[in-house]
Amino acid sequence: MANRHLSRSIAMQTLYEWDFWGREATKLEGILEKNIQEFGPGIEGRDFILRLVNGVIDNLAKLDKIISKSAPEWPLEQITLVDRNILRLGLYELLFGNRQEVPPKVAINEAIELAKNFGGESSGKFVCIGKSASRRKMNKPYNM
């Protein structure tokens, strides 16, 4: 598994667990450290993982609003924890990340791959549709 893909997998796992355990800020560091040790001991992408996790959390309200606007037929609380956090992670990279470092096409593809690897049978399609809707709106301002 490529280093960046593994880093995204660890970030997604961390966000998933953090969301599952009630989004307690005090648990985040422990969850992150456990996941790095379990899934990527000695990984060189530690800074990238931290940037992804902290970026999603710092922009959580904006990301959730974008997801809700892009998929109004799917209330956020009805989207599975895995899919919800994959969408958050992918949207963070797509909308707030460094486009020189991670082009939009790569951000979308990585989110779809995470959904295929960790989500349910239709997760890849769902994430693809959600990300495509958000990408179409990228250059249009959101009312945040």
C-alpha R_g of the chain: 14
> Which of 68-72, 78-82, 87-91, 123-127 shows the lowest per-residue confidence on average (mean pLDDT)?
123-127
Give the pLDDT of residue 141: 44
* Averaged pLDDT of the chain: 85
9-58 pLDDT, tens digit each:
999 999 999 999 999 989 999 999 999 999 999 898 899 999 999 999 99
DSSP the chain: --HHHHHHHHHHHHHHHHHHTT--HHHHHHHHHHHHHHH-TT-TTHHHHHHHHHHHHHTHHHHHHHHHHH-TTS-GGGS-HHHHHHHHHHHIIIIIS-TTTS-HHHHHHHHHHHHHHHS-TTHHHHHHHHHHHHHHTTTS----
Give the pLDDT of residue 60: 97
**Closest Cα partner for 125 from 87, 89, 92, 99?**
87
The residue among 112 and 1 whose pLDDT is bigger is 112
CATH no. for 3-136: 1.10.940.10
